[in-house]
Amino acid sequence: MHRNWAGNLTYAAGDLVRPTSLEQLAEALTGTGRVRALGSRHSFNDVADTDGVHVQVDALDDGRPAVDVLDADGAQTGVVSVNAGLRHGEVSRALHATGRGLANLASLPHISVAGAVATATHGSGDRNQSLASAVVGLELMTPSGELRRLTRAEHPDVFPGAVVSLGALGVVTRLELATVPTYSVRQDVAADLPWDTFLESFDELTSAAYSVSAFTSWDEPAVRHVWFKQVVGLDGGAPPELPGLRWSAVPVHPLPGVDPSACTEQLGVPGPWHERLSHFRLEHTPSAGDELQSEYLLPRRNVAAAVEAMRRLGPRVAPLLATSEIRTIAPDDLWLSPFDEPSVGLHFTWLPREAEVRAVLPAMEEALLPLGARPHWGKVCDVDGPELAALFPRFDDFRKLALTFDPDGRLHGGLVGRLLS
């Protein structure tokens, strides 16, 4: 019996295998029982679950370098092929060493690349798309043991359906990611920004830096912190000048009162992109560990209504919260991505009081779903099964695609079983 990272879920899977070769992976996949890919176990719901066998590809060696910056002809094109089981932090370090970078990162570098891509994991930034949007090609093994390679260029009809896959098409072994030249970022944190100023200047604030995140517990009179991550040389070498910003003179943690030593460096000190874009350092145990998360992604044009709705719910929500984060995300064309237009994310890091958290979610969804909100695929929500599938206009296309890869439903399990059955 094994559990997810937060410890709130014991997987129904009877076994966990970590193949070291493609032959061993094929052996694990072929047969008659249920099987499913497991990443670094950072999802808070049962999106990764199965009542059969879990397969992790973090030890897989297919004969190529784990981070391969060269294409088949030995040229460096900027597209990098990575072992799908690697953590973002590991890929980032290897890329930076070769002078390349990823456009964006999630708050935590410990999450596997395949797991992040499969659930449309995102960072922040008006011009930054989800991490899945960097994928230009992927290799996966289907339940019949067939290794297939799909690319955006060669399979334009199905590729946007195959990237955010929830693990329902097969076990992804390699991901081909578009990269950019490596870059430097400085991080500055402003404190206590009044809500009125925040909403009135929302567009100026979120466009004032490459990546912007606001932290609150919804019952406070002001937004507690706004984190600005600026590309040095592009956004300038000083913190943004906007009315109402008071810069913190000391480093802060997203959770009030927690020692910030686990966080990436702040106070405007420039550093490589991968040591600033995530909120947490790779070498530190992230966050409080014992937590739950929910997140709702909704059209950016509805941010004021969503913030007002959440502030009304503040007295119910705040006692259960460790912290909450507001982020912006650029749109993409991926079928199961919640970002089909410029979007905003309302993220909730909860105290590990699951029954109470689940009790407040219906009220939040009653307020947010009519504003176009969709839950994060890997976090705790109330809406489930067909009702959840119906929030994604391309879900029926995805169902048909999944059927062609997995005609017997052997990859169904947990949330994915409830969505597809």
Q: List all residues 6 or more positions away from 419 whose beta carbon is below 8 Å from its beta carbon.
A: 166, 385, 386, 388, 389, 395
CB of 366 to ligand FAD, least distance (A): 23
Other C-beta atoms within 10 Å of 204: how many? 11
Closer of 28 and 245 to ligand FAD (Cβ): 28
Closer of 245 and 410 to ligand FAD (Cβ): 410
Of the candidate residues 84, 136, 185, 360, the single one contacting ligand FAD (CB under 6 A):
84
Would you count residue 48 as binding ligand FAD (CB under 6 A)? yes
* Residues in contact with ligand FAD, shown as a per-residue x/- string from 97 to 126 under the rule CB under 6 A: ---------xxx--xx-xxx-xx-xx----
Would you count residue 262 as binding ligand FAD (CB under 6 A)? no
Q: How far apart are CA 230 and CA 188, in angstroms?
A: 8
Other C-beta atoms within 10 Å of 321: how many? 20
Would you count residue 42 as binding ligand FAD (CB under 6 A)? yes
Of the candidate residues 9, 28, 35, 47, the single one contacting ligand FAD (CB under 6 A):
47
Q: How far apart are CA 250 and CA 261, in angstroms?
A: 11
Residue type, 381: C
Would you count residue 357 as binding ligand FAD (CB under 6 A)? no
Would you count residue 128 as binding ligand FAD (CB under 6 A)? no
Of the candidate residues 9, 25, 37, 136, the single one contacting ligand FAD (CB under 6 A):
37
Task: Identify the bridge partners of residue 138 per DSSP, sorted by sequence position.
Answer: 150, 175
Would you count residue 167 as binding ligand FAD (CB under 6 A)? yes
Would you count residue 367 as binding ligand FAD (CB under 6 A)? no
Of the candidate residues 5, 202, 392, 398, the single one contacting ligand FAD (CB under 6 A):
5
Q: How far apart are CA 71 and CA 126, in angstroms?
A: 31
- Closest alpha carbon to 272 in 321, 301, 231, 235: 231
**What end-to-end distance do the CA atoms of the chain give, in Å?**
25
Choices 164-172, 182-190, 238-246, 336-344; region in contact with ligand FAD by CB under 6 A: 164-172
Residues numbered 272 to 331 that lie near ligand FAD (CB under 6 A) are 286-287, 293
**Residues lying near ligand FAD in the complex (CB under 6 A):** 5, 36-43, 47-48, 57, 84, 106-108, 111-112, 114-116, 118-119, 121-122, 166-167, 171-172, 286-287, 293, 376, 378
